[in-house]
Amino acid sequence: MAVVKLDRAGLERLRRYADITTDGELAARIGVDPATVSRILSGKCAPGTKFIAGVLTEFGSDAFGEVFVVVDSGDERVSATGSGG
């Protein structure tokens, strides 16, 4: 089963480009609670649909590949078609 994980370095690059300096500002801009941002950035939970949609709305749909990684249950990256890569 494939899951979506955060590429924290990719998100940090976009944050710098957009001049978003705090987690609270990121949360406000993508429409989620600051605690949600904290839990996702710390790895305590995976990004949910609201977080993903907020990031794509704020940064554009092309940001998906920079901010998120699709992995299978064995933690291997998979391509957009779902095959191993």
Residue 7 placed within a domain: yes
C-alpha R_g of the chain: 13
List, for residues 32-70, the tens digit of each pLDDT value.
999 999 999 999 999 999 999 999 999 999 999 999 999
Residue 78 placed within a domain: no
- Structural domains of the chain, count: 1
pLDDT > 50? residue 26: yes
Cα–Cα distance for residue pair 1/10, rounded to 1 Å: 23
Domain that holds residue 58: 3-63
Nearest Cα to 7, choosing from 54, 71, 59, 61? 71
- pLDDT at position 38, please? 96
Residue 31 placed within a domain: yes
Residue 76 placed within a domain: no
Domain of residue 24, CATH code: 1.10.260
Residue 70 placed within a domain: no
Which helix (H) or strand (E) segment holds residue 34: the answer is: helix 34-41
Residue 28 placed within a domain: yes
HSE on the CB side for 65, CA within 13 Å? 4
